[in-house]
Chains A and B, each alone.
Chain A
Amino acid sequence: MMSQRADEISDEQCMTRLTGPEVEAAISALYDRYSRTVYGVGLKILGDHSSAEELVQDVFLKVWRSSSTFDSSRGGFSTWLYRVTRSCALDLYRKRASRIHQVLDGDPYIAATRDSSAGPQEEVDESWLSWRVSRALEMLDPPHREVIELAYFEGLSQREISVRTGMPLGTVKTRTASAFKKLRGELANQDTSQEAIR
């Protein structure tokens, strides 16, 4: 019997393959689906590319090593992966804070500025919303995601997007409207409760 390709199967099926001979294909498929979200949320929480890269690596190695702790009857893969990401991010945050503390203790200017920043828990609380919105964006097909990224993140007008992409202006508008409708649907479908991530 021909086995299904890893990129055609669900996240939950990929998780069951992490203990078998198809482990590499399974972890590769999960990485392709989620690495942008983990990386983006890492940038939001940790604030720099180097730490976000470390987070991506820690998270996917933990997914592989801890696959037996995933229980699909308790929630979807995305929510479980968020919990793994949050835990790894907090570890990195604390590790980094302790490094900064050791090096910079006694510097009055740094001590004053350090105290004004949000703590790891506050950053992490906000990260659940970041995660959900990022997942909703990732669920859009690339043409729809492109118009949202250009309009929202780059601040381009509809006319400027048309010029940048070569798409007719009418298509840009239709695609933007359609992307918003899909985003609304994705966000409404997600489990938004705080209990889901405990």
Chain B
Amino acid sequence: MRCAEIHPNLAAFVLDGLEPEEAVEVLRHLASCPRCQDEVRELQKVNRALEAAPPPADPPSHLKDGILAQVRTAAEPSSSNEEEREGSASLRERQRSLEAPRSDRSKNLRIILPSAAAAAIVAMLALGVLFGVLREEPPVATVQLVPSPQEEAGLEGYWGVAEIRPQPSGNLQVKLKLNNFEDPKPNSYYELWFVSGEKRISAGSFTSVGEGETRVLLNVPPEARNYHTLLITEERIESDPTLTQEIALKGEVP
């Protein structure tokens, strides 16, 4: 066989992807063709490099959503008040300050500050950064939770909200604040669901204190971002929680 006929098979040959009779043809040709031998040596280098390649795999799609949500949250100013707007806008600056090489930060301080005042101002800056980091980010959504009709009569003075915040892990944190939400019946508990049509994701279970304010922190995976209805159902212990149980509260993500 001529080189032109063998050439298209050489890559498949080093990949061991030819049929046995084709491989024999290639071997027969290589025995008498130095040029094709050189070509095979080059192709074998590529084949060996592939040994180092990571297995082809796509990261799960929710990862990108989680990263973009964090970028969005930090980049967009909050509309609730001026102080929060400043906090949000300065988040990048705080992050940059924390990420910047230590030597750059200290060099800047040496240039700007007289030594006597430096310690005090550095301490104040450190406290500012600390409290800035510790301060809770504003929620991306606040959902009003409304009692279902059968619960309404027994919930005098009731109000409830769910604040939703994206977390670094991509999960969504849900902070429930329920006022005068009666405690569940004996052998029962409450469960928070994110619902979309027939699909649902549980955010976890909890109980309430009845009179006064009940605060609960729950988490849902990032996929819950596309589930726009929140339901709190009352579930019985030792039975499978399903959406057919009694719905106590309901809310729609704006």
Hey, which bits of chain A sit against chain B, CB under 8 A?
A: 19, 21, 23-24, 27-28, 31, 35-41, 43-44, 52-53, 56-57, 60-62, 64-66, 68-69, 126, 129-130, 133-134, 136-137, 145, 148-149, 151-153, 156-159, 161, 170, 173-174, 176-177, 179-181, 183-184, 187
A153–B58 alpha-carbon span in the complex (Å): 15
Interface centre among B7, B54, B55, B101, by most chain A C-beta atoms within 10 angstroms, is B54
* Interfacial residues of chain B within 11-62, with CB under 8 A of chain A in the complex: 11-12, 14-15, 17-19, 42-43, 45-47, 49-50, 52-60
- Compute the total of residue contacts between A and B using a CB distance below 8 Å: 136
The answer to whether A27 and B68 have CB atoms under 8 Å apart is yes
Give Cα distance in the complex from A193 to B63, angstroms. Answer: 32
User: How near does chain B come to A66, taking the closest CB pair, in angstroms?
Assistant: 5
User: What separation, in Å, do the CA atoms of A145 and B169 have in the docked complex?
Assistant: 31
B158–chain A nearest beta-carbon distance, Å: 39
B17 & A44 in contact (Cβ 8 Å cutoff): no
Interface residues of B in 53-92 (CB under 8 A from A): 53-60, 63-64, 66-68, 70-72, 75, 92
The answer to whether B59 and A53 have CB atoms under 8 Å apart is yes
Q: In this complex, what residue of B is CB-closest to A161?
A: B17
- Residue of B11, B100, B168 near A61 (CB, 8 A) is B168
Closest residue of A by beta carbon distance from B100: A68
Please report the C-alpha to C-alpha distance between residue A133 and residue B47 in the assembled complex, in whole angstroms. Answer: 11
Given contacts A43-B57, A53-B59, 18 further A-B contacts (CB under 8 A): A19-B92, A21-B75, A23-B75, A24-B71, A35-B58, A39-B54, A57-B63, A60-B67, A129-B52, A176-B15, A176-B17, A177-B8, A177-B12, A180-B11, A180-B43, A183-B50, A184-B45, A184-B46
Residues of A within 8 A of B96 (CB): 65, 68
Q: 7 interchain pairs (CB within 8 A)? A: A19-B92, A36-B56, A40-B57, A134-B53, A134-B54, A137-B56, A151-B12
Main secondary structure of the interface of B (DSSP, over half): helix
Q: Does B247 contact A (CB under 8 A)?
A: no
Interface presence of B251 (CB below 8 A): no
Output the nearest chain B residue to A68 by Cβ-Cβ distance: B96
* Chain A binding surface, main DSSP class: helix
* Cα A43 to Cα B57 with chains together (Å): 9
Q: Return A142 CB to nearest CB of chain B, in Å.
A: 11
Query: Would A57 and B56 count as touching, CB distance under 8 A?
Result: no
Measured between beta carbons, the chain A residues less than 8 angstroms from B53 are: 40, 130, 133-134, 137, 152
**CB atoms of B67 and A152 under 8 A apart:** no
Quick check: B46 and A157 within 8 Å, CB to CB? no
State whether A126 and B52 are in contact (beta carbons under 8 Å apart), knowing that A24-B75, A157-B17 are contacts in the complex: yes
Q: List 7 A-B pairs, minimum CB-CB distance, nearest first.
A: A40-B54, A180-B11, A39-B59, A129-B52, A133-B53, A177-B11, A157-B17
Give bound CA distance, A184 to B58, whole Å: 24
Q: Say whether A44 contacts B49, CB under 8 Å.
A: no
A75 to B101, CA, bound (A): 19
A52–B7 CA distance with the chains assembled, in angstroms = 39
Residues of A within 8 A of B10 (CB): 177
Q: Which residues in A have their C-beta under 8 angstroms from that of B7?
A: 177
CB distance from B56 to the nearest CB of A (A): 5
> Please, how many angstroms separate the alpha-carbon atoms of A21 and B72 in the complex?
10
Q: Chain A contacts of B59 at CB under 8 A? A: 35-36, 38-39, 52-53, 56
B contact residues around A137 at 8 Å (CB): 53, 56
Q: Quick one: closest A residue to B170, CB to CB?
A: A57
Cβ-defined contact, A39 with B50, below 8 A:
no
Q: Considering the chains assembled together, what is the distance between the CA atoms of A21 and B58 in angstroms?
A: 28
Contact of A158 among B12, B92, B168 (CB under 8 A): B12
Q: Give the residue of A53, A129, A134 whose beta carbon is less than 8 angstroms from that of B63.
A: A53
A28-B68, A53-B63 are contacts. A152–B57 as well, Cβ < 8 Å?
no
| Residue in B closest to A42 when the chains form the complex, CB atoms | B54
Determine how close the nearest CB of chain B comes to the CB of A178; give it in whole angstroms.
Answer: 8
Whether B56 lies near A187 (C-beta < 8 A) is no
Q: Is the CB of A65 within 8 A of B58?
A: no
Residues of A within 8 A of B58 (CB): 35-36, 39
Contacts of B18 in A (CB 8 A): 157-158
